[in-house]
Amino acid sequence: MIKHIVLFKLKDYAEGGTKAENAVKIKEQLDRLPSLIDGIVEFEVGINIIESDRAFDIALVSSFGSVEALGTYRIHPSHIEAVQYIRPRKQSSVAVDYEL
């Protein structure tokens, strides 16, 4: 099992929306992926509720059955579409992938 975690820090204002508005829309984009992409075992998207200097705005915590399933997810057109939606709205992101 492979765990895939991504944290997003959003811009205060981007693409016509505030950070809070964009967070909700990004969550909606990500939440639809499990129904579109095979190989996802677990998938959870959360919006941060406690502001601090070190906090990120959105967390994606997901699991895949194999490295190959994660690879399929990464190149799937629906994932690429979500990435393209997120990219202009994010300030930064960090990720970690590890085997359970």
Q: Which domain, by its residues, includes 21?
A: 2-99
pLDDT in tens, 31-64: 999 999 999 999 999 999 999 999 999 999 999 9
Write down the pLDDT at residue 7: 98
Provide the domain count of the chain. 1
Those residues whose C-beta lies under 8 Å from the C-beta of residue 54, and which sit 6 or more positions away, are none
For the chain, what is the mean pLDDT? 97
What is the C-alpha radius of gyration for the chain, rounded to an integer number of angstroms?
A: 13
- d(C-alpha 34, C-alpha 36), whole Å: 5
Q: What is the DSSP string of 14-36?
A: ETTEEHHHHHHHHHHHHHTGGGT
Helices (H), 1-100: 19-31, 67-75, 77-86
pLDDT band for position 3 (cuts 50, 70, 90)? very high
pLDDT band for position 99 (cuts 50, 70, 90)? very high
Domain at 49, CATH number: 3.30.70.100
Enter the pTM of the model: 0.94
Write down the pLDDT at residue 52: 92
